[in-house]
């Protein structure tokens, strides 16, 4: 019982003693900082080497043990009043002479020393002494490192740890030590480059380790001399020169619907904002006069593409696919180079026809080139530009041929001149057919015998010859109700007789009692006195009347069984082969397999011997191919991780060609 009471009385005295020690330590520390001229003490870090006088430390420790215990016993007997008096006298003593630590070191306890002595007692080793005025040139013993605590702009206190402990222990991983580490200085931020498109955020591309610019470098193949400043070339005669680009830009909706085709791509490069910025930079770099785009998503067109292209000086026309599809085709031209004569959107969907139940579309424009005023009274023939995206399905070649026939019929109507000839024509787009396939040969050669051909063979995309059931093309390929002939022209009606018929009363009366008039129509309701009697032939009328053919209009519908034709004389800009690499050209790489499905065809007169090759075929008065942007091989695209990639933001390569048109005097 007595021991319990003694402990109860000792607890307040111990608390008071600790408070006095802390107060003394604070004043002692301030005095040391005021007297010290060393930058180590004044700065954020303070190095505390081990002091040489260890006997003084041991003596102070022993004095603290003896006098501290005696004070505890005395305070326990004096009570609360003694505690209060001791605190007041100690504080007054500290405030009267805080700086003379040398004189008071023997009879007054320095809180700094007491703290050091406590630590030395716990660690069973002497603690170093802080040197104020004269730092030692060499430090004996182990080194110590100070790790400050970050409390604001400056560090308020330091914790002293031995260097050996820092090397041996992973103290940084301790959550309690995280706040003791120094925050790294912020790195200077680089200025963002100027972004030319307002209201559009720029996404940073992923780090590119592959030199895409070097791998995907495309040469410009020039077939002519340099044009002058006005865009005209001197030589045999002035020419109106222009460039045309055809590009399947990959609709975002279609990409997301077929995401398995783009597993090789980093997700960041598939983001539409990143892809849109790349596409616009590509348009600005090549700066074509006519731009034909496929897979143009409707909302992206109206919200971003059309406003941006309009800022670049283009006038745009757009045709969305029918049904619920969200993408379509667009044709853009610069009004400073061309004037629009007419625009004809083409829909391949025909209700009730199983052959034409797909939602693909096309767009045909008739443009008038604008010649500089300084050339005087000169003229250039109109230019017909057709853009389309044909059905992809490799098994339905019959649908592709029917869609192409509709487009060629529309081009024939738009490009036909008053004398029956055609103005220069450019047909481009994604035809989903490989070179030298029946569909490709039909466009280039103008004729195709399709009777009995397997439908998959038309496009040549895939080989389904191993399958037991194969759809075969039937004759006729499309019904006559479509209104298109086998020559890919709209059905027209021509009068058999050019003179106008004149029908008089006597001529019409001759048909009152003709054989047809005397026959009862099938299903005629019998009515007494009306339809129950048969008219009698008057006397003097012949038994049979020589009747003239009354059909004034008869459709001219020449048909060659199992053959379709057209008369537009088209040839391809590209040869589909890279002689320098010995490899075929590639415009797309679905599932890592390179192939060509994008084309630019232009009208050119065939040679006298009728042979058609991949070389340039042109004559005076037609389009002349002046240059083209070279394509790449499959191996090169493999080195760039296929398509799309951080450099090319579509799964197709763009096609670009330069043409010249003859300028004639009126």
Confidence of residue 377 (pLDDT cuts 50, 70, 90): confident
Confidence of residue 67 (pLDDT cuts 50, 70, 90): low
Domain residue ranges of the chain, discontinuous segments joined by +? 240-460+473-492+556-664
pLDDT tens digits for range 103-138: 444 444 445 555 555 554 554 444 444 444 455 454
Picking from 177, 238, 93, 348, the residue whose alpha carbon sits closest to that of residue 665 is 238
pLDDT of the residue at 643: 96
Q: Is the distance from CB of 311 to CB of 304 less than 8 angstroms?
A: no
pLDDT of the residue at 82: 46
pLDDT above 90: residue 328 = yes
pLDDT of the residue at 604: 87
pLDDT of the residue at 211: 85
pLDDT of the residue at 610: 45
pLDDT above 90: residue 367 = yes
Which residues 6+ apart lie within 8 Å of 91 measured at CB? 20, 23
**Token pair of 393 as six digits:** 């399905």
pLDDT tens digits for range 573-601: 999 999 988 999 999 999 889 999 999 99
Least confident of 233-237, 441-445, 489-493, 650-654: 233-237
pLDDT of the residue at 170: 42
Q: What is the mean pLDDT of residues 151-175?
A: 42
pLDDT of the residue at 602: 97
Q: What is the mean pLDDT of residues 188-204?
A: 53
pLDDT above 50: residue 143 = no
> What pairing do the DSSP bridges indicate for beta strands 425-430 and 383-389?
parallel
Confidence of residue 155 (pLDDT cuts 50, 70, 90): very low
Q: Which comes out higher in pLDDT, residue 55 or 147?
A: 55
pLDDT of the residue at 313: 97
First to last CA, the chain: 132
pTM: 0.62
pLDDT tens digits for range 461-503: 999 999 989 999 999 999 999 999 999 999 986 555 544 556 6
pLDDT of the residue at 405: 97
pLDDT of the residue at 413: 96
pLDDT above 70: residue 22 = no
Prior bond of 202 cis (ω within 30°): no
* CATH code of domain 240-460+473-492+556-664: 3.60.10.10
pLDDT of the residue at 525: 75
Confidence of residue 399 (pLDDT cuts 50, 70, 90): very high
Q: What is the mean pLDDT of residues 400-424?
A: 96
Q: What is the DSSP string of 328-362?
A: EEEEEE-TTTEEEEEEEEEE---TT-GGG----EE
Q: Which comes out higher in pLDDT, residue 302 or 178?
A: 302
Q: Which comes out higher in pLDDT, residue 628 or 505?
A: 628
Confidence of residue 160 (pLDDT cuts 50, 70, 90): very low
Range from 64-68, 159-163, 345-349, 464-468 that averages highest in pLDDT: 345-349
pLDDT above 60: residue 83 = no
Q: Which comes out higher in pLDDT, residue 170 or 27?
A: 27
Q: Which comes out higher in pLDDT, residue 54 or 447?
A: 447
Confidence of residue 455 (pLDDT cuts 50, 70, 90): very high
Which residues 6+ apart lie within 8 Å of 310 measured at CB? 316
Q: Mean pLDDT in the chain?
A: 75
Q: Give the CB-side neighbour count of residue 225, counting CA atoms within 13 A.
A: 11
pLDDT of the residue at 561: 83
How many angstroms separate the CA atoms of 396 and 422, rounded? 31
pLDDT of the residue at 112: 52
């Amino acid at each position: 019982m007595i021991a319990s009471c003694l402990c109860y009385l000792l607890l307040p005295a111990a608390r008071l003693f600790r408070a006095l020690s802390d107060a003394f330590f604070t004043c002692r520390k301030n005095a040391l900082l005021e007297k010290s001229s060393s930058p180590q003490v004044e700065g954020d870090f303070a190095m505390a080497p081990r002091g040489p006088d260890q006997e003084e430390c041991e003596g102070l420790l022993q004095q603290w043990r003896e006098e501290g215990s005696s004070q505890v016993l005395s305070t326990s007997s004096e009570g609360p009043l003694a505690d209060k008096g001791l605190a007041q006298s100690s504080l007054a003593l500290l405030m009267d002479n805080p700086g003379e630590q040398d004189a008071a070191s023997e009879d007054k306890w320095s809180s700094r020393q007491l703290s050091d002595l406590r630590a030395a007692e716990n660690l069973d080793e002497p603690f170093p002494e802080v040197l104020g005025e004269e730092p030692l040139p060499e430090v004996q013993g182990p080194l110590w490192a100070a790790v400050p605590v970050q409390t604001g702009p400056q560090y308020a206190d330091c914790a002293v740890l031995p260097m050996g402990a820092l090397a041996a222990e992973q103290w940084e991983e301790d959550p309690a030590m995280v706040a003791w580490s120094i925050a790294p200085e912020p790195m200077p931020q680089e200025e963002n480059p100027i972004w030319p498109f307002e209201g559009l955020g720029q996404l940073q591309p992923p780090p590119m380790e592959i030199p895409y610019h070097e791998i995907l470098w495309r040469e410009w193949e020039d077939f002519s001399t340099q044009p002058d400043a006005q865009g005209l070339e001197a030589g045999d005669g002035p020419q109106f020169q222009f460039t045309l680009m055809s590009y399947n830009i990959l609709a975002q909706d279609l990409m997301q619907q077929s995401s398995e085709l783009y597993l090789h791509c980093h997700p960041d490069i598939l983001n539409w904002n990143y892809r849109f910025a790349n596409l616009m930079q590509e348009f600005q770099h090549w700066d074509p006069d006519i731009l034909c785009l496929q897979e143009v998503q409707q909302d992206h067109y109206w919200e971003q593409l059309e406003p941006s292209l309009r800022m670049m000086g283009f006038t745009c026309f757009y045709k969305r696919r029918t049904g619920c599809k969200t993408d379509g085709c667009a044709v853009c031209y610069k009004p400073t180079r061309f004037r629009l004569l007419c625009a004809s959107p083409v829909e391949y969907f025909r209700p009730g026809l199983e052959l034409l139940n797909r939602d693909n579309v096309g767009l045909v424009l008739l443009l008038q080139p604008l010649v500089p005023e300084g050339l005087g009274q000169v003229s250039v023939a109109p230019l017909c530009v057709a853009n389309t995206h044909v059905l992809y399905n490799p098994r339905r070649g019959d649908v592709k041929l029917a869609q192409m026939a509709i487009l060629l019929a529309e081009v024939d109507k738009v490009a036909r001149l008053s004398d029956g000839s055609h103005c220069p024509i450019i047909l481009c787009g994604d035809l989903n057919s490989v070179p030298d396939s029946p569909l490709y040969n039909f466009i280039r050669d103008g004729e195709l015998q399709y009777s009995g051909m397997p439908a998959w063979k038309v496009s040549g995309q895939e080989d389904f010859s191993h399958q037991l059931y194969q759809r075969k093309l039937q004759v006729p390929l499309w019904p006559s109700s479509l209104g298109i002939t086998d020559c890919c022209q709209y059905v027209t009606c021509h009068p058999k007789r050019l003179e106008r018929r004149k029908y008089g009363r006597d001529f019409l009366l001759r048909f009152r009692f003709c054989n047809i008039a005397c026959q009862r129509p099938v299903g005629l309701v019998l009515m007494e006195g009306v339809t129950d009697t048969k008219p009698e032939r008057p006397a003097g009328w012949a038994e049979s009347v020589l009747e003239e053919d009354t059909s004034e209009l008869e459709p001219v519908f020449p048909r060659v069984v199992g053959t379709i034709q057209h008369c537009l004389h088209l040839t391809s800009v590209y040869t589909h082969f890279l002689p320098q690499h010995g490899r075929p050209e590639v415009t797309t790489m679905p599932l890592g397999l390179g192939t060509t499905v994008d084309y630019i065809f232009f009208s050119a007169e065939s040679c006298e011997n009728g042979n058609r090759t991949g070389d340039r075929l042109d004559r005076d008065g037609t389009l002349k191919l002046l240059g083209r942007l070279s394509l790449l091989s499959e191996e090169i695209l493999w080195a760039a991780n296929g398509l799309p990639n951080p450099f090319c933001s579509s799964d197709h390569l763009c096609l670009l060609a330069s043409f010249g048109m003859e300028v004639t005097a009126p």
